[in-house]
């Protein structure tokens, strides 16, 4: 049994089946999550016979890093993790002035089919387990610990739709919140969804104060359906209703992500429509000039168009920020590195 990804309570229950005392779970779990142990042999505060017994019944299996890219400015590190069955997913460390943020994936691939995204090019392979999701952060935490640093925030914005893997995502976040892993506060977590309405409603009732970010990318039903097929299942009007409910229930501001695509959704008319759509909401807009994906034939607007779009929103009292671009020289956008390796047959 692979015990990586289990909580202390789950591990204690597994140990009990082999007549191993509950207090051993606390010792093992700290070795596993806070000291990077992948073998029982290194757990020198456990007797050798116990270590041998543990190795007979259990293993500590973590995904391996098969590709590692550093940005030229040193601010971004991108890892491609490979799991036991050969599936892969990307994780990105972003060093900001306010702390270290980790962008994690929740699925191997994605089935959402968004026109601007590389993650969906090869479709969805499978959901990641809670342990595979948590391992991405714990691996980065191990790396940062050698520098005397830590993970400060998590953005669940990598490959996959997290609300289609709801149980594993929430289990991973709860595990990462525990003091015996990295002790991350829930207010340091932002989850991004393409608009899975039942998942948003369920998250509002979960009782954990994480921030919600919704991939909007268009101000009308017609345009959003054109670039985001999920809109045909969960229309824009329903997504906005669920977002308003989330903000009211949690008292947390919702962020709407809006990828700016030249000659598609970046005009004056679209900016005015967006402002009207969000008027009066506890919300802000995060503008993201598209990171071009060669297979998609979509391009970013020029700087003047970006500034104009932002100004129109601000003039209409909509808080609008421009996302700081990081890691473009190492293909840090979701799915790009994974696709490159898949197409190379690796």
Catalytic residue, chosen from 132, 272, 334, 343, is 334
Annotate 52-90 with b (16+ C-beta within 10 A) or e (fewer): ebbeeebebbbbeeebebebeeeebbbbbbbbeeebbbb
110 is in an annotated binding site: yes
Element (DSSP H or E) covering residue 338: helix 336-343
291 is in an annotated binding site: yes
Residue 103 catalytic?
A: no
Residue 133: helix, strand or coil by DSSP? helix
114 is in an annotated binding site: yes
CB 3 within 8 A of CB 59: yes
105 is in an annotated binding site: no
Residue 236: name the closest of 250, 249, 223, 252 by CA. 223
Annotate 249-274 with b (16+ C-beta within 10 A) or e (fewer): ebebebbbbbbbbbebbbbeebbbbb
DSSP string across 43-65: -TTS-HHHHHHHHHH-B---PEE
The DSSP 8-state label assigned to residue 145 in this structure reads H
Catalytic residue, chosen from 90, 132, 257, 270, is 90
Residue 325 catalytic?
A: no
161 is in an annotated binding site: yes
217 CB neighbour count, 10 Å cutoff? 26
317 is in an annotated binding site: no
215 is in an annotated binding site: yes
Q: Which residues are annotated as a binding site for [4Fe-4S] cluster?
A: 110, 114, 117
Binding site members? 110, 114, 117, 160-161, 192, 215-217, 291
- Catalytic residue set: 90, 334
Q: Which residues are annotated as a binding site for S-adenosyl-L-methionine?
A: 160-161, 192, 215-217, 291
């Amino acid at each position: 049994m692979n015990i990586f990804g289990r909580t202390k309570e789950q591990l204690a229950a597994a140990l009990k089946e082999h007549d191993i005392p509950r207090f051993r779970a606390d010792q093992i779990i700290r070795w596993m999550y806070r000291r990077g142990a992948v073998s029982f042999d290194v757990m020198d505060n456990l007797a050798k016979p116990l270590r041998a017994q543990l190795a007979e019944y259990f293993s500590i299996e973590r995904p391996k890093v098969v590709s590692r890219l550093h940005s030229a400015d040193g601010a971004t590190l991108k890892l491609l993790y490979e799991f036991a069955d050969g599936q892969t997913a990307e994780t990105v460390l972003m060093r900001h002035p306010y702390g270290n943020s980790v962008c994690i994936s929740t699925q191997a691939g994605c089935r959402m089919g968004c026109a601007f995204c590389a993650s969906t090019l090869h479709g969805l392979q499978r959901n990641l387990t809670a342990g595979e999701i948590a391992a991405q952060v714990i691996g980065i935490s191990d790396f940062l610990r050698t520098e005397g640093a830590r993970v400060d925030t998590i953005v669940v914005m990598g490959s996959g739709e997290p609300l289609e893997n709801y149980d594993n995502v929430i289990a991973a976040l709860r595990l990462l919140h525990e003091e015996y892993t990295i002790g991350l506060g829930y207010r340091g977590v932002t989850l991004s969804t393409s608009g899975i309405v039942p998942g948003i409603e369920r998250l509002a009732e979960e009782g954990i104060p994480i921030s919600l970010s919704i991939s909007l990318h268009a101000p009308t039903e017609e345009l959003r359906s054109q670039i985001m097929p999920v809109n045909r299942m969960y229309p824009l009007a329903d997504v906005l209703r669920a977002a308003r409910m989330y903000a009211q229930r949690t008292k947390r501001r919702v962020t709407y992500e809006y990828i700016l695509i030249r000659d598609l959704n970046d005009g004056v008319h679209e900016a005015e429509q967006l402002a009207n759509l969000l008027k009066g909401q506890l919300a802000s807009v995060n503008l993201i000039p598209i990171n071009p994906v060669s297979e998609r034939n979509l391009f970013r607007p020029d700087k003047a168009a970006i500034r104009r779009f932002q100004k129109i929103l601000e003039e209409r009292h909509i808080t609008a920020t421009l996302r700081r671009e990081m890691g473009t020289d190492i293909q840090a956008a979701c799915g790009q590195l994974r696709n490159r390796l898949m197409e190379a047959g690796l």
